[in-house]
């Protein structure tokens, strides 16, 4: 036991010692060495003397993750499985059943089967809860159960799942899964091409370039590039996607770090496809990181008009650093700046409120685009043309996060038939049914105002707090509860859009959703109208 303990302690110590001796922060050497010595002494004494048997690996894993929580959510420790998943995400290829599967509330649920892949062929649907994989019960499996669905190409796995209260079993094959960066492109009208770029994996620029060339051959004289919901990915791919529309040698991103070697300037390196074609870029609150580099740089260079809502606001760059035993540290190494010099990072992780939440930037600096237009930093990319129906808010976020919209769409699917995306209509009766569903569910949404009032009740200041004050606060809380119900009607258009998307995907996959967008989506219709008005388009860029 003690020999094993010494090995478990000494190996990480040697790795950390290498880090300390090679770090660029020579001035912090003594403080780092001091804290390492304190920690390793504590770790050794704890494991050797604690009354019960300990799990050194588990304790170390917990210690590392808790330490990193003090920084930002993008600086994370990755074990061997995490490293493999990270590689798959960037490569866009893996071997599995071909479905987006998520684990939440101790459940493993099919979120979206990919059209034509094994899960889809086996009849698995969104909303199916996987309860058993092979002979293993998901409830008893403590690690990431989604890993059990992956395996060698052409192998099979038995999956037991619950659907609408009944249990079913299916043999599901595994195949090579290619995750397209561009899942859809098509002519939106006779002269306007539409491209969906959903992620920045290693295929992003190549697939976007192929889509652009194909649309131009089909007669596209204007392009809509849809980055909504794109969480980002590889910095190099963001630069190369931008390069499709701007000349070689154009500065796109500057990164600044306290480590000198991470201070870089990134310019376009290739010949563009088309530097003149009118371009509209769509963004929303879930367009982040590499998406914001593309949108922000095209805006700064006055190469495109940006439409939608303010983007997410992630202006930080991460790099995976190799550790021992196949693990890695994905660490934030720098901030990035668009060509005008702005950093669009929205949250300040160096300053937090009493609850430990990072504070949002509230003071914005002005910058100028190449043509002299005003743009600001500190809170994502602000669109040139705002689309009201794309706005989100904490209520919509809570409905999505708590799977209320997802569960309603599941129930709807098994009770209705649709022959084409055009047949669906979210009418008042259907939305009323959704509101009723919300009321019957265990959905709970607590506003910041409620949190403050409830805190006031629990931490009553006796000098000023009497029965009348308490009664007023309780009455106000009751009014707030009623107003939350009314908010479902106030934001019916925005919530309805999320509901439509989820329902359409159940019947017609993402392809059907995008086809419906071409006819009904506010942002695409606005972009088509803008691109058709050459004078207005050019005036926005002036």
Q: Which residues are catalytic?
A: 289, 300, 314
Largest CA distance in the chain: 78
Strand runs labelled E in 338-382: 347-352, 358-360, 366-368, 374-376
Instruction: Measure Cα distances from 272 to 59, 180, 239, 243, 476 in Å.
Output: 52, 22, 12, 6, 59
In sequence order, what DSSP letters do the residues of 131-153 get, joined into one string? EEETTEEGGG--S-GGGGG--ST
Q: What phi and psi values does residue 289 have, to the nearest 5 degrees? A: 55, -110
| Structural contact between residues 231 and 268, judged by C-beta atoms closer than 8 angstroms | no
Residue of 229, 250, 351, 349 whose CA lies nearest to 292:
229
Please choose, from the candidates 20, 55, 21, the residue with its C-alpha nearest in 3D space to the C-alpha of residue 36.
20
Distance, in Å, from the CA atom of 360 to the CA atom of 102, rounded to the nearest integer, reads 29
Please return the burial class of 315, using the count of CB atoms within 10 Å of its CB with bins 0-12, 13-18 and 19+: buried
CB atoms within 10 A of CB 78: 18
How far is residue 23's CA from residue 31's CA, in Å, rounded to a whole number?
13
b/e burial code for range 201-235 (CB count within 10 A of at least 16 → b): bbbbbebbbebbeebeeeebebbbbbbbbbbbbbb
- The residues that bridge with 337 in the sheet, in sequence order, are 254
Asked whether the beta carbons of 487 and 397 are under 8 A apart, the reply is no
């Amino acid at each position: 036991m003690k020999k094993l303990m010494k090995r478990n302690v000494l190996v990480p110590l040697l790795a950390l010692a290498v880090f300390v001796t090679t770090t660029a922060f020579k001035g912090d050497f003594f403080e780092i060495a001091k804290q390492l010595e304190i920690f390793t002494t504590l770790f050794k004494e704890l494991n050797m003397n604690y009354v019960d048997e300990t799990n050194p690996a588990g304790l170390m894993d917990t210690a590392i993750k808790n330490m990193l929580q003090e920084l930002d959510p993008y600086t994370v420790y990755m074990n061997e499985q995490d490293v493999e998943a990270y590689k798959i995400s960037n490569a866009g290829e893996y071997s599995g059943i071909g479905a987006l599967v998520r684990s939440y509330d101790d459940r493993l649920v099919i979120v979206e089967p990919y059209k034509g892949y094994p899960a889809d062929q086996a009849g698995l649907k969104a909303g199916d809860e996987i309860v058993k994989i092979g002979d293993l019960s998901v409830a008893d499996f403590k690690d990431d159960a989604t890993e059990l669905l992956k395996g060698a190409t052409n192998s099979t796995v038995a999956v037991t799942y619950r659907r609408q209260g009944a249990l079913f079993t299916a043999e599901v094959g595994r195949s090579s899964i290619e995750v397209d960066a561009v899942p859809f492109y098509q002519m939106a009208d006779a002269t306007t091409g539409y491209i969906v770029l959903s992620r920045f994996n290693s295929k992003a620029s190549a697939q976007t370039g192929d889509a652009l060339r194909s649309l131009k051959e089909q007669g596209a004289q204007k392009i809509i590039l849809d980055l909504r919901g794109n969480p980002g990915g590889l910095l190099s791919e963001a630069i190369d996607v931008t390069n499709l529309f701007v000349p070689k040698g154009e500065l796109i991103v500057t990164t600044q770090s306290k480590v000198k070697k991470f201070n870089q300037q990134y310019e376009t390196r290739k010949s563009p496809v088309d530097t003149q074609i009118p371009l509209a870029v769509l963004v929303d609150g879930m367009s982040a990181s590499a998406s914001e580099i593309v949108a922000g740089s095209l805006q700064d260079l006055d190469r495109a008009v940006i439409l939608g809502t303010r983007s997410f606001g992630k202006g930080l760059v991460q790099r995976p650093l190799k550790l021992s035993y196949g693990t890695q540290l994905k660490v934030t190494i720098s901030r990035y700046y668009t060509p005008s010099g702005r950093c669009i990072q929205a949250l300040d992780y160096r300053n937090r409120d009493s609850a430990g939440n990072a504070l949002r930037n509230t003071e914005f600096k002005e910058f100028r685009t190449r043509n002299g237009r005003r743009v600001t930093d500190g809170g994502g990319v602000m669109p040139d043309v705002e689309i009201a129906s794309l706005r989100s808010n904490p209520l919509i976020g809570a409905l999505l996060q708590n799977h209320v919209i997802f569960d309603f769409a599941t129930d709807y699917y098994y009770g209705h038939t649709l022959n084409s995306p055009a047949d669906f209509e979210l009418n008042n009766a259907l939305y009323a049914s959704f509101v009723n569903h919300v009321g019957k569910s265990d959905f709970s949404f607590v506003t910041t105002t409620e949190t403050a009032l409830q805190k006031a009740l629990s931490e009553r200041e006796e000098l000023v707090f009497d029965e009348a004050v308490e009664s007023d606060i309780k009455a106000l809380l009751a009014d707030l509860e009623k107003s939350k119900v009314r908010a479902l009607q106030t934001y019916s258009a925005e919530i309805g859009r999320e509901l439509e998307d989820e329902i359409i995907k159940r019947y017609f996959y993402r392809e059907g959703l995008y086809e419906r967008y071409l006819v009904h989506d506010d942002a695409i219709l606005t972009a088509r109208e803008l691109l058709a008005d050459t004078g207005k388009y050019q005036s926005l860029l002036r």
